[in-house]
Chain A
Amino acid sequence: MSAAPGEPIIRLEEVSRIYDTGKVQVPALVDVNLDVAKGEFLAIVGPSGSGKSTMMNILGCLDRPTAGLYVLDGQPVDELDDDGLAFVRSRSIGFVFQSYNLLPRTSALENVATPLMYQGVSKKERLRRAQAALERLGLGDRIHHEPSELSGGQQQRVGIARALVTEPALILADEPTGNLDSHSGTEVLNLFTDLHALGRTIVLITHDVDVATAADRAVHIRDGQLREEVRA
């Protein structure tokens, strides 16, 4: 399943996500419309509590909208069951997290190979592809290191390698520089710019307006509503 030519990778139509706490209903996203074209580098910018995390969960198929339509890479995902969502995450999405979220006590190579295991790729093939991904990110000499033996910048590059190894339609990065010093942060942002130049579709979620400038388009989120940024 992939988007037809000219179709956006992501299409959100009137998407809402309302948390029902029993007593009150908390709207986290309200009637959000968004298209992300293939090959686009989009930043979603908003302060904490703006609905940013909910946006990330919905886009990442970790959560379902309570209303509205979400089409990812030609596949309507708002009505998929849990296994269906897992399948979409496995095939179409590569996550990059703020706190890296690497598997502890597991080598960089095994970490990067794990998404391929859930696709049913043979061990030999997935180790080969994981090693290639790590080498592309300049970690060829660190493949047998565990996360605790790597610096923050290196861990985040392992995280990016893990997101890339399945060749997903969408790379979804949640505050990828949030835990990094400015030097490492710049390096990571440069990596995203490079990936974008190679034609990858990237959605970067951040609170930092400066970080958002790395993207070629930015939308702002506040109180669960999106607003297109007008760039000078």
Chain B
Amino acid sequence: MKLTDLLGLALSRLGTGKMRTALTMLGIIIGVASVVALVSVAQGATKGISDQLQSLGTNLLTVSPGATRSGVTRLSFGSGTTLTLADATALSSLDGIQAVAPEITTSKLVVAGSQNETASIIGTTPGYLSVFAYKTWVGTFLNQASVDNNLRVAVIGSTTADNLSLTDTSIGSTIYIGGLPFQLIGILQPKGGTGTEDDRVLIPVSTAREFYTTTTSVSAIGVSATSQDTIDSVSAEITYALEQRHGITSTGSDDFTIATQAQLLGTVSSVSDVLTLLLAGIASISLLVGGIGIMNIMLVSVRERTREIGIRKAIGARGRDILSQFLVEALVLSLAGGIIGIGVGVLASFGIGTYAGWGFVFNPLTVVVAVGFSLIVGVVFGVWPASQAARLDPVVALRYE
């Protein structure tokens, strides 16, 4: 039999029981839609996180002090005091390094006019801007002179500016950080993301040391490599330089840690792969249930149409003609369900993506896989009822009431 004949038979049959056809397809529609939507959600979430990490700068390395020990207890990561401003200065002379930004981090009450908030205060150097990929929105950033002269000047993030009701006209005004007056010299452009990167106050590292800490240690040193490709060699260089400076032999354990964005991205992507698989797996269960729905309907249909099968055989249909007829019917059901399911899934992922703010992520591969899956479901769950139909004895089938 020709495919067009088989399709004609399937479509006219499915057209005569529209409600049954719709309900049978609904199982596949829900299955495929959930696969498409959940995979898209997983990928959208991953993209959202990766974009944030990318916005931090992909050629960024963060050097953190190692954990300290109190007796036998290992204190939290980064709690050490092993990194110093001198280390940061030393790193800036290494090859392949674009900029270095030490960070002395503390938290203080910031007051501007009648507004106040407790903000994260970071003492740093002019390199901070390029290392962490910030841009100034208005005013200027910290310069070398402000660091050399321990100036009380501050640059604030966009969220901090909003919280304190500071705008472009506020440049030059005085804000109070931990009770000390600072001159506001600049406001940063927002980076987006979760917002914590936009909620901070930057002051010269020398000023921070003078007023807010007692030691020479820094919380972290941000380093940007000249390119993403040299990250690994730069990381090795920094390790060697710091081991030399800290007097650590190659067998001793380092008192610092270097984290790269690439590592973070790698972690995120492996987590998201697992997440995607997990969600797709859950969604596949509904696809399976939809397939069983098709098999159920096809079995009922074979039973109901036993006499029709007998007639067809009497007037010349071979077993394989009957098999093809029922199989094509199951395939049309599952494929039509699959295509509608893709539509519903794409709409759902568009809605979720828009609501969650990572935009619409759509992977054409998902469509291919979903269509392929629904075809497989059609064949797998259609073949058995169809072969039941094909094997019917025409004598028995013709007498069936």
Contacts and interface: CB of A to CB of B under 8 A. Distances in A.
A83 interface: yes
A120 B313 contact: no
A51 interface: no
Contacts of B49: none
A103 interface: yes
Interface residues of A, number: 28
A114 interface: yes
A104 B314 CA distance: 15
Contacts of B2: 120
Nearest to A122: B2
The interface centre, meaning the residue of A82, A119, A162 with most chain B CB atoms within 10 A of its CB, is: A82
B315 A89 contact: yes
Interface in A123-145: 123
A63 B395 contact: yes
Interface residues of B, number: 24
Interface in B13-54: 16
Interface string A89-131: 1110001010001111110000000110111100100000000
Q: Which secondary structure characterizes the binding site on chain B?
A: helix
Contacts of A162: 315
Interface in B287-343: 307-308, 310-321
A95 B316 CA distance: 10
Contacts, number: 65
B311 A117 contact: no
Interface in A61-102: 62-63, 82-83, 86-87, 89-91, 95, 97, 101-102
B394 interface: yes
Contact of A115 (B8, B12, B315, B398): B315
Contact of B317 (A60, A104, A118): A118
Contacts of B317: 86, 90, 118
For A86, A95, A120, which residue has the most chain B Cβ atoms within 10 angstroms?
Answer: A86
Nearest to B15: A105
B169 interface: no
B229 interface: no
A57 interface: yes
B175 to A, nearest CB: 82
B321 A89 contact: no
A117 B1 contact: yes
Contacts of B314: 60, 62, 89, 95, 101
Interface of B: 1-2, 4-5, 8, 12, 16, 307-308, 310-321, 394-395, 398
22 contacts: A62-B394, A82-B318, A83-B318, A83-B320, A86-B316, A86-B317, A86-B318, A87-B318, A90-B316, A90-B317, A91-B316, A97-B398, A101-B311, A101-B314, A101-B398, A102-B311, A115-B315, A117-B1, A117-B5, A118-B1, A118-B312, A118-B316
Interface of A: 57, 60, 62-63, 82-83, 86-87, 89-91, 95, 97, 101-106, 114-115, 117-120, 123, 162, 166
Given A62-B313, A83-B318, 18 more contacts: A62-B394, A86-B318, A86-B319, A89-B314, A90-B315, A90-B316, A95-B314, A101-B310, A105-B16, A114-B315, A115-B316, A118-B1, A118-B312, A118-B315, A118-B316, A118-B321, A119-B316, A123-B5
